Structure 1
Amino acid sequence: MTVTVVVGNPKPASRTLQAGTALAEKLTGAAPDHVIDLVELGPGLLGWGDEAVAAAVKTVQESALVVFASPTFKATYTGLLKLFLDQFAGGTGLQDVVAVPLMLGAGPGHAMAPDLTLKPVLSELGGTCALPGLYLIDATWSEGPELADYAERWKPVATALMALR
């Protein structure tokens, strides 16, 4: 089963990328098959028909599980991630994909952002969003138990959902 991480941070090779990759590994027991760092797609995201963007969309659609990772900007996910999600057809664009929302932020004030802002759009696109979103403090995400605790709790659910694909 294919596992992909989509990263909506405008900084390449960000902490968001590291956290998204770590979450995918903890949920599945292996490194993700693909990591799509959206900043690398550049201006191709601003329209339709770009070959690299189309390939990234296809990779996501063919994945069993996708971690959608974004820093928190103004209490929501980034415009970069929004531009990518706009490439998917509403209702069916993420059909049969287990979509896991992950957001990082500076403090606990936006801890509900993954569930309140990112999860609804992933659901609207047809993603299976049975797992709750995960919010991590960006400066300390790798030091605390939150990611490992989340993965331990939700790995059986993710595994079962991927097996249904």
Structure 2
Amino acid sequence: MRLTTVYGSPTPPGKLARALGLLEQDVRDRHPNWVVDRIEPENPVAPVVATWGDDAVERISGADAVVLASPVFRGSITGTLKLLIDMLPNEALRSKPVGILTVAAAPHHFLSAERHLRDILSWFGALTAPNSAFFVDRVFGAAEVDAEALADLREFADQLVVLAENLSGRHFGPDPLTVRFTRKKT
């Protein structure tokens, strides 16, 4: 099984990358039948945007589960992550477990990026994990990450693994609107 994680920040790896790395290592340690594949943006264009490699869409499409990780940027996800999402064909996330991991500077941002991502993922017909993982960035700025944050990452990973292993190959309907309204009529 393959978990593809998406580091959705155009900035150099920092606290979000640390959170994502801890999640990835936990999956490797506790689920040896899983391969973890991280996709990171390439070619920073400006401090707020970067582009993606040619194989990013293929790697997401081939995953059994996906984690979309983004800092909360001006109340939403980054433009860099949105660029990648816009490149995905409808089938890339259809009936696929997708988890949302966000990190923000303050606790009152806890639903902003998640709400936008949930709306986008429903457009694809993704199986958005019921519980997302949100952290205030200072948690990953400390020398030692506290046990509660590590436990939250572990539970977040477990729900994706359980969803993917138990629902693999299943197709859930009805088709999302994007599929219904773009289907060729016969």
Question: TM-score scaled by structure 2?
Answer: 0.72
* C-alpha distance in structure 1 between counterparts of 2:149 and 2:43, whole Å: 28
Question: CA-atom RMSD, angstroms?
Answer: 2.5
* C-alpha distance in structure 2 between counterparts of 1:67 and 1:98, whole Å: 9
Runs of 4 or more above 6 Å deviation: none
* C-alpha distance in structure 1 between counterparts of 2:36 and 2:155, whole Å: 22
2:133 aligns with 134
1:36 aligns with 39
| Ranges in structure 1 where 5+ consecutive residues have no aligned partner | none
The answer to whether residue 158 in structure 2 is matched with residue 159 in structure 1 is no
Contact 1:27 1:158 (8 Å CA) reproduced: no
Please state how far the C-alpha of 1:5 moved relative to its aligned partner. Answer: 1.0
1:16 aligns with 16
Which residue of 146, 149, 166 maps to 1:147? 149
What per-residue deviation string (whole Å, max 9, x for no partner) do you get for residues 58-78 of structure 1? 101111121110111111110
| Distance change >3 Å, CA 24–CA 127, structure 1 → 2 | farther
* C-alpha distance in structure 2 between counterparts of 1:9 and 1:156, whole Å: 24
* C-alpha distance in structure 1 between counterparts of 2:149 and 2:60, whole Å: 22
Please state how far the C-alpha of 1:114 moved relative to its aligned partner. Answer: 4.3
User: Equivalent residue of 1:86, what SS?
Assistant: helix
The structure whose residues are more often strand, as a share, is 2
Please state how far the C-alpha of 1:56 moved relative to its aligned partner. Answer: 0.8
Equivalent positions of 1:5-84 (< 5 A) are: 5-26=5-26, 29=30, 33-38=36-41, 40=42, 42=44, 52-53=53-54, 55-84=55-84
User: Equivalent residue of 2:20, what SS?
Assistant: helix
1:99 aligns with 98
| Distance change >3 Å, CA 2–CA 144, structure 1 → 2 | same
* C-alpha distance in structure 2 between counterparts of 1:56 and 1:156, whole Å: 24
What per-residue deviation string (whole Å, max 9, x for no partner) do you get for residues 69-106 of structure 1? 0111111110000011001134x331242111111111
User: Equivalent residue of 2:127, what SS?
Assistant: coil
Mark the structure with the bigger radius of gyration.
Answer: 2
Contact 1:102 1:134 (8 Å CA) reproduced: yes
Bigger CA drift: 99-108 or 23-32? 23-32
2:174 aligns with none
Question: TM-score scaled by structure 1?
Answer: 0.80
What per-residue deviation string (whole Å, max 9, x for no partner) do you get for residues 100-138 of structure 1? 111111110111124312222122222211332211111
> What is the aligned-residue identity percentage?
24
The count of corresponding residues between Structure 1 and Structure 2 is 157
* C-alpha distance in structure 2 between counterparts of 1:145 and 1:124, whole Å: 35
* C-alpha distance in structure 2 between counterparts of 1:83 and 1:20, whole Å: 20
